[in-house]
Structure 1
Amino acid sequence: MGAFLWSLLLLLREAKGFSGDEEDPEEVIAVLQESIILSLEIPSSEEVKDIIWSSRKNLAVVAPGEEGQPANITVMDPRYRGRVGIPESSYSLRISNLTWEDSDFYQAKVNLKTSQLSITKSYNLHVYRRLSRPHITVNFKISEEGACNISLRCSVERADMDVTYSWLSSQDSTDTPHEGSVVSTSWRPGDEALSYTCRVSNPVSYSTSRLIPVGSFCAEPGYSEKSSVFCLLAKGLLLLLLLVILAVGLCVFRAQKNYEMARVRKLKRNRIKLRKKGKPGPSPV
């Protein structure tokens, strides 16, 4: 079937006076620092003369090997040396250790021994980075009416291009598409406690943030100030506890040392007494 389609394509292009420019390129998505294969399938019935791979300029030339041997590749563009190869029993092109500069237009020009025409296949390669876990910044302000206006900003390190954001709310349990990384909401005392999760995605990966309970940031006026005072008080108590432990330890150490010194003095006195008892008296004349 593949050979029939290939032959039919050759006939159609020959009838049109094909130049190889009207074919829509294949969109290919890849991951930064990983590998990708630009797939090229040629029926085994066709005799390939050579294949010229190009990007901004000629990248490599692939030629069939001797009978029973794999194809040979000659890399012409210095940017790809050591990074391109051909999968076994294939004319496809594998690019390893992808960089941002590899995002480009690629083309494979297939020259056949049995035809004066060349068949071309084009590719648009897009390289993306895998996303890290997003971080959420919370800003809130309590109005005079008691309403708490909350703003959540979602950010991800080195987001690059084509990153989309969506928010999952505990209220509706559905993903809400959102243009941009900021979502705003409001809360009043007595309202249901709300929690939000940010989801970021690009064509090669996605990641979600931790759950953020927004109600706790403004449960009552002065919440943040009270939290700060509580933290300072807790730190002071902890420091006081450490000082007490240190003083008790020092007292125990001194008592132990005094006990040891008294014990040593007592042993010395006992030895002196024993020596006096064992000393012989003066001999009679």
Structure 2
Amino acid sequence: MAMWSLLLWEALLPIAVTGANIQGQVGGSVLLVAKQPPGFQVRDVIWRSLWPSEELLATFFQNSSETLYHSRFLGRAQLHSNLSLELRPLESGDSGNFSVLLVDMVGRAQSQTLQLKVYDAVPRPTVQVFIAATRDTQSPRTCQVFLSCWAPNISDVTYSWRQEGTVDASLEPLGLLASGQVLRISLGPGDRSVAYSCIVSNPVSWALATVTPWESCHRDAEPGKTSYNDVLLLLLLLPASLILVLAGLLSAWHCSPCSGNKKQDVHANGVAPETENPPV
């Protein structure tokens, strides 16, 4: 009966939205904290999940807590003595909105809303080195390089680069392509030991991979085989070319029965004159 009374209170009173944003990592834990206003002595508490589905998670009535409700957090939710709710271990589908209803000793109620976003841990990225042939107007000892970085099976990430072993490791934005996934650099003999790191990150984790591109410069690709623009087009337009190839294959497969029928018709037309009787 007490729980239904609290739900009625919440329906009648305006909801105070706090707009708190909480971030967590898959496999980790988060603490959803109910903020108590000054002079607000809490008597009862209800924690609920609002989205993607509305579920009762935990309650506190008359100095007794309960978290054994059949929700997707069953066995993963713990109500602490300070009335905060801990969720662990987190899963990728736990992102959503949560609410807590507080009632004080004189029956005043306050509702707070919190938003949880759960991210996957960032895996170690893969960095590929593409070497462009030297232009005639450039020194033959100059090496034009594209570094391509990719993190598998991950979303909501950002890419950045740094040059190792320098005080100011930041790189010029003009050398960044494809939303930071590709770095364009020019190397000379003085850059033999210079290393570059690709850093992939989201709000809760990060990972990096480091390469020394000068080593790839002198695996001596034949001059003229790969141009500066060809490498750029390869990195930026490869998905589009794959789509065109697949479309061509599908079109050929779809039309193959038609071409077979046409061949049969031509063959029939060629045989017909031989079966006619010569004119008398």
- In the alignment, residue 92 of structure 1 is paired with which amino acid? S
Sequence identity, in percent? 19
Structure 1 residues 164 and 214 mapped into 2: Cα distance closer, same or farther (>3 Å)?
A: closer
Tell me how far 1:216 sits from its aligned partner: 2.1
User: Is 1:130 aligned with 2:121?
Assistant: yes
1:35-184 equivalences in 2 (<5 Å)? 35-42=29-36, 46-56=41-51, 57-66=54-63, 70-77=64-71, 79-87=72-80, 89-115=81-107, 117-145=108-136, 146=140, 147-170=142-165, 173-176=168-171, 179-184=179-184
Mapped contact 1:26–1:122 kept (Cα < 8 A): yes
Matched residues, number? 199
Which one scores higher on RCO, CA 8 angstroms, separation ≥ 6?
2
Is the deviation greater in 132-141 or in 42-51? 42-51
Unaligned residue ranges in structure 1 (runs of 5+)? 1-16, 225-285
Structure 1 residues 142 and 172 mapped into 2: Cα distance closer, same or farther (>3 Å)?
A: farther
Once residues 203 and 47 of structure 1 are traced to their aligned partners in structure 2, the CA distance between those partners, rounded to angstroms, is 33
- In the alignment, residue 87 of structure 2 is paired with which amino acid? I
Tell me how far 1:195 sits from its aligned partner: 2.4
Tell me how far 1:52 sits from its aligned partner: 3.9
Q: Deviations over 1:220-271 (max 9, x none)?
A: 74489xxxxxxxxxxxxxxxxxxxxxxxxxxxxxxxxxxxxxxxxxxxxxxx
Tell me how far 1:166 sits from its aligned partner: 2.7
Structure 1 residues 159 and 61 mapped into 2: Cα distance closer, same or farther (>3 Å)?
A: closer
Tell me how far 1:130 sits from its aligned partner: 2.0
Tell me how far 1:102 sits from its aligned partner: 0.8
Structure 1 residues 119 and 162 mapped into 2: Cα distance closer, same or farther (>3 Å)?
A: farther
Structure 1 residues 186 and 156 mapped into 2: Cα distance closer, same or farther (>3 Å)?
A: same
Q: 1:12: which partner in 2?
A: none
Once residues 46 and 99 of structure 1 are traced to their aligned partners in structure 2, the CA distance between those partners, rounded to angstroms, is 34
Normalised by the size of structure 1, how large is the TM-score? Answer: 0.60
Q: 1:27: which partner in 2?
A: 21
- In the alignment, residue 103 of structure 2 is paired with which amino acid? N
1:189-228 equivalences in 2 (<5 Å)? 190-193=189-192, 194-210=194-210, 212-219=211-218, 221-222=220-221
Q: 1:239: which partner in 2?
A: none
- In the alignment, residue 146 of structure 2 is paired with which amino acid? S
Once residues 187 and 120 of structure 2 are traced to their aligned partners in structure 1, the CA distance between those partners, rounded to angstroms, is 37
- In the alignment, residue 85 of structure 1 is paired with which amino acid? Q
Unaligned residue ranges in structure 2 (runs of 5+)? 1-11, 224-280
- In the alignment, residue 101 of structure 1 is paired with which amino acid? G
Q: 2:238: which partner in 1?
A: none
Mapped contact 1:61–1:76 kept (Cα < 8 A): no
Mapped contact 2:46–2:60 kept (Cα < 8 A): yes
